[in-house]
Structure 1
Amino acid sequence: MQDIADLLGLSRTTVSWVLSGKGDERHISRETQDRVLKGAADLDYKPNLIAKTLRMGKTHTIGLIIPSIEDQFYSEVAKAVEFEAYKQGYTLTLGSSESEKDRESNLIQLFRDKLIDGLIIAPTKYSRKEITNLCRQDFPFVLFDRYFPELDTNYVITDDERAGYMLTRHLIEKGCRKIATININKHLEVTQRRMEGYRRALRESGIEQNPNLIADVEFATYRSDAAGAIERILVLEPDVDGFCFITHILAIEAINCFHEHGIDFNNRFKMGCVHEVPMMKIVAPKMSIARLPADEIGRQAVRLLLASLKKAGNADEQRTRKVVLPMELIYRD
C-alpha cells in the first residue's frame, strides 16, 4: 500500500480506505478511487490475508468436518456447503474424521488454530465432549445429520424416524412379513431414529420383531461385517422376504454380497433404503428410496452458521435454531 501511495502521491491511509471498500464512506472522490484501483492493478497488489485476519479478527473461512469423504452423501453436502459459502463470500476448509474420536478432536483444534470463523460438523458418536466445549466457549458451529438431544445446539437434520417407518410400511403393504435390517453405529441418534421407525411400522402391522432379522455393524469394519450379517440372516431366516437398509452404504455392501452368492435379489426380495447413489438405480431398479436432501442440508447449515456469526457477542440474539428437513420418498416397485 505504501508503494501505491508513493506512486500516486497520496497518503497510505487514503489508499487503505479505498482498497478496503470504504472510499465512499470516507468521501473520497470517484476519480481518486479509480486512480488507486488502477495503481493497485499496475503494481499487482495483493492484500496480506494474515495481516487482515489479525486486524479484522475474521478469516471469512468456515470449517467442515464430515465422517467420510468417500461417502457420496457427505460429498454432496460438502459441495453444497462450498457453493453456498462462496455465494456469501466465504471459503471452505474440509476435513474427514473417518468416525475416529482423536482424528475429529484434532481437526476441530486444527481448524480453530487456523482462526476459522465457524464450524459445520457431522459429529461422531464420541463427540459429546468436544461439542460441549464448543458450546461452553461460545464458538459458532452447526451440527448436521447427527446431533445430541441433550445439548442445545444449532443443527440441521432430517426426519429419520419417518423415513424408517415409511419404507418399512411400504414393504409390509407389498406383502412382506419377514423384513430384515442392518444397523450401523447404533449409538448414533440418527440410526436410532431410523430403527425406531422400522420397529413402529412392524408394531402397527402386528408383526413381531424377530432378532434374527436385525444385525448391527460398526463403521470401521462395516464392509466385511455387512456381508457376514447378510449371510447370517439368510441362514437363520431363509424365507426372509424384505430388506430395509438404514443407509445406502449398507445397501451397496448387501448388493455385492447377493451378487457374489448368485442371488437374484431384485426378484427375490422387496427392498427399501435411506438415500442412494446413482449406480443403485441400475443394479437395484425396484428398490424404494427415502432420499436425503443433501443440497438443502448444506445450504441450511451455512445459513445457520452465518446467522450465528452475525449474532456473536449479542447475548439477546444467541437463540439456537433446529431445522428438521423431510426426505423425498420414492417408491419404485
Structure 2
Amino acid sequence: MIKKITIKDIAKAANVSITTVSFVLNDKGKEKGISKEVIKKVFKVSEEMKFKPNMMASSLRTGKTRSIGLIVEDISNQFFSDLAKVIEREAIDLNYRVFYCSTGGNNERAIELVNSLLQANVDGFIITPTEGMKATIDRLLELQCPVVLVDRYFEGQEVSHVVLDNFEGGETAARYFLKKGFKKIAFVTNSSQLIQMNFRKQGYSKALKDVGLYDDSRILELEYDITEEERIEKISDFLILNPKIDAILFGANYLLLAGLQSLRRLGHSIPADKAVISFDDHDSFRLHSPSITVLSQPIELIGKKTVRLLMKQMTDGSNYEIIKEKKKGSLTIRESV
C-alpha cells in the first residue's frame, strides 16, 4: 500500500517545524518571515516526496482523477461563463470533468482555491490569475502541475497562456472612434496592474497619441472591488467633470454596464451625446437600444486552444513545450457609434 505523505513527513525530511511547512505550502512563508533558503528547501523536499495535500485514495492508485480545476475571476460575468462553457464542452469530449471556481479578484481567495483543488488532486489547472497570484503559479510549476493561464499572465513567468491581443484591441477600438470623427475620447478601466487592462490602455493611448489627441485627464481608473452603485457614481462624476467627452471606450463589459446607467442618469443619449464601445460582449448589449459596439474576444478559439495546451502538458509531462499565444479580437459594429 502506498503511504500517504503528510506535512509531518515533509517537516521531518526538511528538518523544520510542521508550522513552517504549513506556512510555506500555503504561500505565507514570506509573510511569516521565513527565509528564502528554507522556503526553497521545503518546496524541494515536497516535490521530491511527490506531496499533494490530502490526496484521495483513488487518485493515489491511478495518479489521475480525470478532472480540471478552472479558476476564473467571476463565473457570473458573461465573458467568463461563455469561456467556461467552451472549456467544459472540450473537456467532456475528452472524458474530463471541470471544477469551476471564482476568485472575485481576491488574492487570498485565489490561493485557497488552488489549495482546495490540489486536495481534490485535479490533473491540471486553467487559471485566470489575480494580481498577486504569481507566487502561487510558481508553486504549481514547482509541483509540476500542468497549468495554462487564460485571459492574462505575468511578464517574465515561463508558463503557457492563451490571451487576447489586448494592445491591438485597444488601438482598434480607439481608431474606429477616430475614423468616425470623434476627438475627445475617454477610456474607463480599473486601477489594477493586471496586464490585459494595461495593454488595453496602452493601445488606446497609442492611437490617440499618433494623432495628437491624447489627454490623460480623459482616463478614469476605478478600483475593482467597489460596488456597482459606486462605479455608477464615479463614472457620473467623471463625465460631469469632463463634459466635452464625445466617445468612451470601456475596458470591460461590467464597466460598460455601470456606464450605461451613468449615462442614463445624466440624460445623455447614445450615440448622439456620447458614443460607446466596450471590450467583451454581453447579451444585453445586443438587446440594448441602441445596440452596443464591442471589441469581441474569440472565445471559442481561446477555450479550445487552452484545453489543447493543458492536455498536451498532461501527455508530455516534464518535457512539455511552453506555448504563449495571442488571439486577435474583432470589432462587432452595432449602433452605439
Alpha-carbon distance in structure 2 between the residues aligned to 1:284 and 1:140: 45
Q: Mark the CA change 1:111 to 1:122 in structure 2 (over 3 Å): closer, same or farther.
A: same
Q: Does 1:135 align with 2:141?
A: yes
In structure 1, give the amino acid aligned to 2:328. P
Conserved? CA contact 1:68–1:97, under 8 Å: yes
Give the whole-Å Cα distance in 1 for the aligned partners of 2:130 and 2:289. Answer: 30
**Is the contact between residue 270 and residue 287 of structure 1 (CA under 8 Å) also seen in structure 2?**
no
Do residues 114 (structure 1) and 120 (structure 2) align? yes
Query: Which residue is 2:260 aligned to?
Result: 255
Mind listing any 5+ residue stretches in structure 2 that lack a counterpart? 1-55
Which residue in 2 is equivalent to 1:327?
329
User: What is the letter of the counterpart of residue 327 of structure 1?
Assistant: G
Aligned 8 A contact 2:205 2:214 in 1: no
What is the aligned counterpart of 1:73 among 74, 79, 82? 79
Task: Check if 1:180 corresponds to 2:186.
Answer: yes
Q: What is the alpha-carbon distance in structure 2 between the residues aligned to residue 224 and residue 192 of structure 1?
A: 24
Q: How far apart are residue 185 of structure 1 and its match?
A: 4.2
Q: Is the 8 A contact 1:167 1:288 kept in 2?
A: no
Contact 1:182–1:226, Cα closer than 8 Å, also in 2: no
Taking structure 1 as reference, are residues 62 and 185 closer, same or farther at Cα in structure 2, changes over 3 Å only? farther
Aligned residue runs from structure 1 range 1-333, under 5 A:
52-211=58-217, 213-221=218-226, 223-285=228-290, 287-313=292-318, 317-332=319-334, 333=337
Counterpart of 1:77, as a letter, is L
Q: Which runs of 4+ in 1 moved over 6 A?
A: none
Q: Per-residue deviation at 1:80?
A: 0.7
Once residues 207 and 153 of structure 1 are traced to their aligned partners in structure 2, the CA distance between those partners, rounded to angstroms, is 37
The CA deviation at 1:286 is: 5.2
SS class of match (1:220): coil
In structure 1, distance between residues paired with 2:116 and 2:246: 48
Number of residue-to-residue matches in the alignment: 280
> Could you say what secondary structure the match of 1:267 adopts?
coil
User: Matched residues in 2 for 1:147 and 1:272: separation?
Assistant: 25
Per mean C-alpha deviation after superposition, the further-off stretch among 191-200 and 275-284 is 275-284
Normalised by the length of structure 1, the TM-score is: 0.80
| Counterparts in 2 of 1:261 and 1:208: CA distance versus 1, 3 Å | closer
Question: Does structure 2 conserve the Cα–Cα contact (< 8 Å) formed by 1:182 and 1:229?
Answer: no
Tell me the TM-score normalised to structure 2 length.
Answer: 0.79
Aligned to 2:6: none
Q: Which has the larger radius of gyration?
A: 1
The percentage of aligned residue pairs carrying the same residue is 27
What letter matches 1:258 in structure 2? Answer: L
Shift of 1:188: 0.3
Please state whether the residue corresponding to 1:221 is helix, strand or coil: coil
1:182 aligned counterpart, secondary structure: strand
Determine the C-alpha separation between the residues in 2 that align with 1:193 and 1:291. Answer: 16
Structure 1, residues 81-115: CA drift from partner, whole Å, max 9, x if none? 11000001111111111111111101001101111
Instruction: Answer whether contact 2:312 2:320 (CA < 8 A) is retained.
Output: no
CA gap of 1:185–1:89, structure 2 versus 1, over 3 A, is farther
Q: Is the contact between residue 131 and residue 192 of structure 2 (CA under 8 Å) also seen in structure 1? A: no
User: 1:222 Cα deviation (Å)?
Assistant: 5.2
Aligned-pair distance for 1:51? 5.4
Is the contact between residue 131 and residue 193 of structure 2 (CA under 8 Å) also seen in structure 1? yes
CA contact (8 A) 1:184 1:222 kept: no
Q: Secondary structure at the match of 2:226?
A: helix
Match of 1:27 in 2: none
Residue aligned with 2:138, SS: helix
Cα deviations across residues 27-56 of structure 1 (Å, max 9, x unaligned)?
xxxxxxxxxxxxxxxxxxxxxxx6543221
Q: What do residues 159-178 of structure 1 show as CA deviations (whole Å, max 9, x unaligned)?
A: 11011001011111111111
Consecutive unaligned residues of structure 1, counting only runs of 5 or more, are: 1-49
Residue 288 (structure 1) shift: 2.3
Whichever residue aligns with residue 324 of structure 1, its letter is: K
Q: Give the SS at the match of 1:266.
A: coil
